[in-house]
Every structure is written in C-alpha cells, then in structure tokens.
Amino acid sequence: MMSHCLENEWRYNLVKSEFGKSSIELYNEMDLLDEKTILFHGVYMSQKDIDLVAKHKSSIVHCPLSNLDTGAGVADIDSMLEKGINVCLGTDYAHTNVWELMRLTYYLLKVKNPVNKYFAEDVFKMATINGAKAYKLYDIGVIKDGYKADLVFIKKDADLEPLLNRESFSTYLYNLLFYNKADSIQHVMVDGKWIMKDRKLTMIDEEEVVRRYSKIAEGFLDYLND
C-alpha cells in the first residue's frame, strides 16, 4: 500500500476531527501497516505514529523540498531513523533535482543533532538502497554482480578530491554530495542501456519532448484562465 500520509496540518486536522485519531492509527486498526506499506511525507506523525510504523516495518518517503515549498513543515526523520524505520527520499511537487534533495536532507539532519551523528553515506543510502528496500526491489541500489546496471557516470573534478579524507568529512562521497553539479553527469545507464551518452539523450527526441510539454502547459494555463 502506498499513500500520502500526514503531509500537512489541515490534512491531519481533517482526519483527527472525523475519527479522533491519526491516519497511522487508523491504518494500524485496519491492518494496513506492514513491511509492504510505503507512506509519503509523514510531517505530522506523532511519536506514537512513528512507533507504530517502526513496529510494522513500514517505509517512509521523506520529501523535504516539497514540504518546505508548500509550507507543510519538516518531518521528524531523526526520530524515525532512531527507531530503525526505513527512510527513503522522494521529490514530489515537480522537484526532480535529486542532488538538491540529498543536500537538503543532510542539512536538516544536522539541525539539533551532534555534528558526527549523520554522514553523507546515510543520505546516499536513503536515495538508493533504502528506496529499493521499500519497493522490494532486490537487484538495484548498489553496484554489484547480479544487480541491474543503473549507473550515473560523473566527470572527475578537482572539487571531488578529498582535502582531509576523514571518515566524517571531506571524503569522496561527501564531496560528491556537496560539490557535484548537474553538468558533471556525463552518462546515464538504466538496466545496462545508455539513456544519456556524452550529455545527449539516446532514446528520445529532446526537442519533440520540449514542444509537447509546451503545448500541454499552454493548454493547462488556458484551462485555468477559463
């Protein structure tokens, strides 16, 4: 089961006023919480809600860019991770820059936490293997024999060279998180097939996509103006 859940205050209040309890508590009563349950956002999850999600080994999709953009707030990911919940990352609301999403996730985890509590590796796990685990996909998320070749090739840059190379700071992974730029990505492979090579899409006509998108956007705006 996948569902947006406790994303913002008005949705929380709507369910609370109708049923006297949270969405998580309702799901629990209806036996809808298990390891196959994936809940998006969770901004207004209480500690009781978090405990229930942890107990049933459900997954949470953290969408901080969307939540801050809409003014929904910030989910208590720290408590969720403390309870061992499988937290993965989502964009939502038309945000598709996963690097920006990962950096914001890292920054938010540093708020009110010891400086060495979370590392870049924790964020990369949320963006890769944790998402694979949530959807029961056991052949993606890592570079390993027998796994699908879903790969992003990044141009080696001096900014990625570790200055200190400490476990918690200025490693290659840390620098990749903070100093990688969109135009650093040279090639993209999905399941062993080139999707982008030398920064050119190989399977679709980019200009045609732009034309079709513009047409759809214009129609949408015309509908709103009517």
Residue 7 pLDDT: 94
**Phi, psi torsion values for 197, nearest 5 degrees:** -130, 125
Neighbours of 28 (CB within 10 A): 19
Tokens of 32: 């809808």
List the structure tokens of 166. 């400490």
Q: What is the pLDDT of residues 20-74, one digit of tens each?
A: 999 999 999 999 999 999 999 999 999 999 999 999 999 999 999 999 999 999 9
- List of domains in the chain: 1-141 (3.20.20.140), 149-226 (2.30.40.10)
How far apart, in whole angstroms, are the C-alpha atoms of residue 89 and residue 135? 12
Query: CB count, 10 Å around CB of 217?
Result: 10
Cα–Cα dist 127/129, whole Å = 7
State the sign of the Cα–Cα–Cα–Cα dihedral 23, 28, 29, 31: positive
d(CA 180, CA 158): 11
Q: pLDDT at position 94, please?
A: 67
Task: Give pLDDT tens digits for 133-185.
Answer: 999 999 998 899 999 999 999 998 887 888 777 777 778 889 999 988 878 89
pLDDT in tens, 92-146: 876 788 999 999 999 999 998 998 899 999 999 999 999 999 999 999 988 999 9
Closest CA to 15 of 215, 6, 212: 6
CB within 8 Å of 132: residues ≥ 6 apart: 138, 140, 141
